[in-house]
Amino acid sequence: MKILVATTNEGKLREIKSILSDLDVELLSLKDMSKVIEVEEDKETFLENAIKKATTYASFYKIPVIAEDAGLEVDVLEGYPGVYSARFYSIEYGGKLEDESLSKDERNNLKLLKLLENKENRKGRYKTVVVYYDSDKGIGIWTEGVCEGEIAQKPQGSGGFGYDPIFIPQGYNQTMAQLPPEEKNKISHRGKALNKLKELLIKTGVVEIGAKS
């Protein structure tokens, strides 16, 4: 059986493949598709964005799809960056940070650190919603994963992606980017949501355990 993991983000793809590696399925990514269609993530919640991606890709490619939408919510910023996490640097909230010499991730992180300057409450959380959708069989499943933590004073570490260099998971004194990938997968929002999805896919008989050789 083939499932399309609807992402072009290498960091996410690596994590998703590693977590689902013991299933008897062939995981494809958008990079394996000859034609890639763009799906705009313009909804107000992670769930709506993930459903939009899963249903659009499933009807276009005619195979079951796993899609997810994730982001970082910071308490003193009313939940921002939230659904704007990927392009936080470019939105009006908190002022735009357009510095072409920096990567998008670096711009996002810098803007967040600036907004949190002198803030005592640095609590936040990563959230992920994962959707599995098979239009042929009419199966739709969604799960959520949350990883509580706080925003560091400065970036540290080179693992992971996105906000990982400035996100310290609860109970740790290192950033997510300083943790080994297996450790991140154990505690991360994406790890939790995907493990729940895996359990449901096995329970409902959609997939079986057994690594694809």
Active-site residues: which are they?
69
Question: What is the number of helices (H) and of strands (E) in the chain?
Answer: 5, 6
Angle between helices 189-203 and 10-19 (to 10 degrees): 40
Are 166 and 151 in contact by the 8 Å Cβ rule? The answer is: yes
Closest distance of CB 177 from ligand IMP, Å: 8
126 binds ligand IMP per the rule CB under 6 A: yes
Of the ranges 51-59, 67-75, 90-98, 110-118, which one interacts with ligand IMP (CB under 6 A)?
67-75
150 binds ligand IMP per the rule CB under 6 A: no
Interface residues for ligand IMP in 171-190 (CB under 6 A)? 188, 190
145 binds ligand IMP per the rule CB under 6 A: no
Q: How crowded is residue 211: how many other Cβ atoms within 10 Å of its Cβ?
A: 10
Order the strands of the 65-74 sheet from edge to edge.
26-29, 2-5, 65-74, 123-134, 139-151, 167-169
162 binds ligand IMP per the rule CB under 6 A: yes
| Residue recorded with tokens 């890639």 | 36
Of the ranges 16-24, 92-100, 115-123, 156-164, which one interacts with ligand IMP (CB under 6 A)?
156-164
Total interface residues for ligand IMP by CB under 6 A: 17
**Phi, psi (rounded to 5 degrees) for 3:** -130, 135
85 binds ligand IMP per the rule CB under 6 A: yes
| Residue recorded with tokens 């598709």 | 33
User: Which residues fall within 8 angstroms of residue 23, CB to CB, at 6 or more apart?
Assistant: 198, 201, 202, 207, 208, 209, 210, 211, 212
Interface residue with ligand IMP among 57, 61, 132, 163 (CB under 6 A) is: 163
Closest distance of CB 33 from ligand IMP, Å: 17
Binding site for ligand IMP (CB under 6 A): 9, 41, 69-72, 85-86, 108, 126, 160-164, 188, 190
